[in-house]
Amino acid sequence: MIDTERAREIAIALLGRPSSDPTRPWSLIEFREGWIINENGHLGDDFVGSLGRVIERSSGRILSFPSRIPTDRIMNEYDAVVGKAKVVAAPRR
């Protein structure tokens, strides 16, 4: 089981930049099974698209979901859609 701080460390290693990066900021959206990496929040309300990478709370593994699976389904129907995701190689420390 990982906590928010560990999820943040995983995201920094994966993305190669801090959440406060001036040109490409990101944030974590917490939900029951983990955290969605939100790289699009700074684009404003007009942005349309799915947030497809998840850091699982139980294992710390990173999953990438296809864009056809909306973010709200990932957050609300995780068990039904997790089988469609691919495991992303863990970043090297």
Above 80 in pLDDT, residue 2? yes
User: pLDDT tens for residues 47-91?
Assistant: 455 568 999 999 999 999 998 898 899 999 999 999 999 999 877
Structural tokens at position 33 = 């099974």
Number of domains, the chain: 1
Q: For 12-42, how does the pLDDT look when each residue is reduced to its tens digit (9 = 90+)?
A: 999 999 999 999 899 999 999 999 999 875 5
Residue 59 lies in a domain: yes
Is residue 93 a part of any domain in this protein?
Answer: no
* Closest residue by Cα to residue 63 from 37, 29, 86: 86
Q: Which two tokens stand for residue 8?
A: 């943040």
- Give domain status of residue 13, yes or no: yes
Domain with 44, as residue range(s), is: 4-88
Beta pairing partners, 64: 53, 86
- Residue 67 domain flag: yes
Q: Please state the pTM of the whole predicted model.
A: 0.86
HSE at residue 93, side-chain half, CA atoms within 13 A, is 3
Q: Where are the beta strands (DSSP E) in the chain?
A: 27-31, 34-38, 53-56, 62-64, 86-88
**40 vs 15: CA distance, rounded Å:** 13
Alpha-carbon distance of 56 to 7, in angstroms, equals 8
